[in-house]
Amino acid sequence: MDPRSVARHVESDADRAAAHRLYTLVFPVDAAAGRVLLGMKKRGFGRGKLNGFGGKVEAGETVAQGAVRELAEESGLAARSVEQCGLLLFYFEGDPTAMEVHVFQARDYAGAAAESDEMRPEWFPVDQMPFDRMWADDRFWWPCVVDGAKFVGRFWFKADQTTIVRQSLVRVDSLDFGGAAS
């Protein structure tokens, strides 16, 4: 398991041995206007869905650095800071590698949203999210973001990447795993 993975803190002994791949997911929030920037994914995994901005954490960067880099690459926004609000673990039937997704909000950023090769950005009111055009799990944990609550969610998907067969979601006091996620 990647030494930056926090999964070892939240999973069972059996899960701890499994491979985890680290990802980031960043939601730029315009708090004054009550809106969040999503992007329509133009290619690859999750193509056609609306989502936050993110991707794989690269060698030599922290998870937070990866979040800032992906946000800039995909949306054109330069985050001055990012705040982690959640941890998501995804398991897909037939795939031995779990996805460990670190979810951030970016409330302090510079620049204007611009279309990239990967994403077409669009602002939405935080209380009117287009869940029908998003990943199936998002409707369950997004209310935690709106409430300002930190959360850990685990979702087991069928290989169709659409059907959730099992899930757990808990609100937590802290996502500080001894520095592992910073």
Ligand X SMILES: Nc1nc2c([nH]c(=O)n2[C@H]2C[C@H](O)[C@@H](COP(=O)(O)OP(=O)(O)OP(=O)(O)O)O2)c(=O)[nH]1
Using CB under 6 A as the binding criterion, the count of chain residues that bind ligand X stands at: 16
Tokens of 10: 């939240």
By CB under 6 A, name the one of 17, 18, 33, 45 that touches ligand X.
Answer: 45
Contact indicator for 111, 78 with CB cutoff of 8 Å:
yes
**Residue among 11 and 153 whose Cβ is closer to ligand X:** 153
Q: Which of 67, 135, 145, 151 binds ligand X (CB under 6 A)?
A: 135
Indicate whether 97 belongs to the interface with ligand X (CB under 6 A): no
User: In this complex, which beta carbon is closest to ligand X, that of residue 54 or of residue 76?
Assistant: 54
- Among residues 6, 20, 23, 109, the one that binds ligand X under rule CB under 6 A: 23
| Residues forming the site for ligand X (CB under 6 A) | 23-25, 44-46, 51, 54-56, 90, 99, 101, 135, 137-138
